[in-house]
Amino acid sequence: MLLHKIQTQIFTLVMLLTPLFSYAASENTPLTATIIGSGSPIYNEKRASASVLISNGNTQLLVDMGNGTQANLAKLGIDTRTLSGLLFTHHHLDHNEEFVPIFIRSLLGRQHFSIIGPPNTVKLTQQNLDLYSDDIAYRLGKTNRQLSYREKAFDVKELQGGESFTINNIRISTIQVPHSIHTIAYRFDYQGQSIVVTGDLTYSKNLVTLAKDADIMIIDSGGMVMENGKKNKRRNKQKAQQENKQALSSRERNERQGKNNHTPRIRAHLNLAESSLLAKQANVNTLVYTHFVSGIVDKEASLKIIRKQYSGKVIFGKDLMLIDTPDKHNP
C-alpha cells in the first residue's frame, strides 16, 4: 500500500514537471537556416535552384522551391509531409518549380500547413489543386481519407508586403522588395534570434529596416567576381572599382543606363557594392550569399569588394549548408 502511494506520488511529480522540462527545451531551441538550393535558373548539377529551410524544433518553413529542392530535402532526411509552411519570395520558375509535388505531398500528410506568398499564390495553389484533385483523392483513399477533409488542413495567404504574422512560435515580418515582379522579403524571429531571407532584389532602403540587427541575412549573390569567366581579370578589377565608387539604388542606376537609348534596362539583381552596403546599414551579424550562377566564384576578389563596406561575417552559401543563429541563451 505504501509502495503504491509512493509510486503514485512519483508519477504525479513527473507529470507536473514534464511540461516545465518541455518548455525549457523549447526555450532553448535554436532558430536555424539551411540552404537547400543555392543556384540560379540555369541547371547546375552542383547546385539546386533557390530554396531555404527555416527551422525551430518541429516547425519547418520552406522558403522557395526551385529545381532540386525535393532531392536535397531527402538527403537531409526531411519528409515534406511534415513541413509547417510553404513560402514564396516570388513566382519565377527557379523559385517555385517544385511547389506542385511538395504541395501534393503535404496534402498526403496529416498536419496543418500554410502556403504564403505574393500575388498569384492563391491562383497557383487552387489551379493545381483542381488539376490534380482526382490523383490526390485516389492517394488519400488508400488511407481511407477524403480530399474534402484535407483541403481544410491548409490555408493560403497572399502578401503585398508589410504584413506580420506568426506560424507556431516563429514571428514573421515581410516587406516588398524591388525585382522584375512582385517580390517579398521575409524576417523570422524567435526568442531573440533572427533570420532574413531577401529573395531576388535590387537595392531597397526598406530592407534595411526589415533586417535591422538581424543575426543572419541570406541575400542575392549578384555581381560576384567569377574565375575563368568571359571577362578577364583586368576587366573584373575595373568593374569592381567602378561599383565601389557608389552603391546606387535601382532607380538611379536604371536612369543612368537609359540616358543614351531612352529605354532604361530593368535591373533585377544586386551587385556586391549594394548587398554589402545593405548589410552594413542593417548591422547584420552574418551575411550569407546564395543564388549563384554557374561557374566558380573568385571568393578572394569578391570579398575585397564586400569588405569595402561590410566587416561582419561573410558566408558563400552552398547546398545543404546549415547556418545557426548565435546561442543567446548560453553566451
Cβ count within 10 A of residue 77: 6
Residue reference for cell 524576417 = 187
pLDDT tens-digit profile of 104-143? 999 999 999 999 999 999 999 999 999 999 999 999 999 9
Say how far apart CA 56 and CA 207 lie, in whole Å. 23
Under a CB-based contact definition with an 8 Å cutoff, are residues 65 and 96 in contact?
A: yes
Residue 238, pLDDT above cutoff 90: no
Give counts: helices (H), strands (E), the chain.
12, 16
pLDDT tens-digit profile of 160-212? 999 999 999 999 999 999 999 999 999 999 999 999 999 999 999 999 999 99
The amino acid at residue 242 is Q
Q: Could you give all domains of the chain from N- to C-terminal order, each with its CATH number?
A: 30-324 (3.60.15.10)
Residue reference for cell 516547425 = 59
- Global confidence as pTM: 0.83
- Strand pairing class (154-158; 296-297): unpaired
**Higher-confidence residue: 284 or 254?**
284
Q: What per-residue confidence (pLDDT) applies to 267? A: 83
Q: In what order do the strands lie in the sheet with 321-324?
A: 154-158, 113-117, 85-87, 59-63, 51-56, 32-37, 321-324
Lowest mean pLDDT among 170-184, 235-249, 269-283: 235-249
Q: What per-residue confidence (pLDDT) applies to 246? A: 45
Average pLDDT, the chain: 86
Confidence of residue 27 (pLDDT cuts 50, 70, 90): low
Confidence of residue 254 (pLDDT cuts 50, 70, 90): very low
Confidence of residue 308 (pLDDT cuts 50, 70, 90): very high
Q: What percent of the chain has pLDDT over 90?
A: 75
Confidence of residue 264 (pLDDT cuts 50, 70, 90): low
Say how far apart CA 275 and CA 279 lie, in whole Å. 6
DSSP conformation class of 44: B
Q: E strands along the chain, which residues?
A: 32-37, 51-56, 59-63, 85-87, 113-117, 154-158, 164-167, 170-177, 183-190, 193-197, 216-220, 226-227, 286-290, 296-297, 313-316, 321-324
Q: What per-residue confidence (pLDDT) applies to 12? A: 39
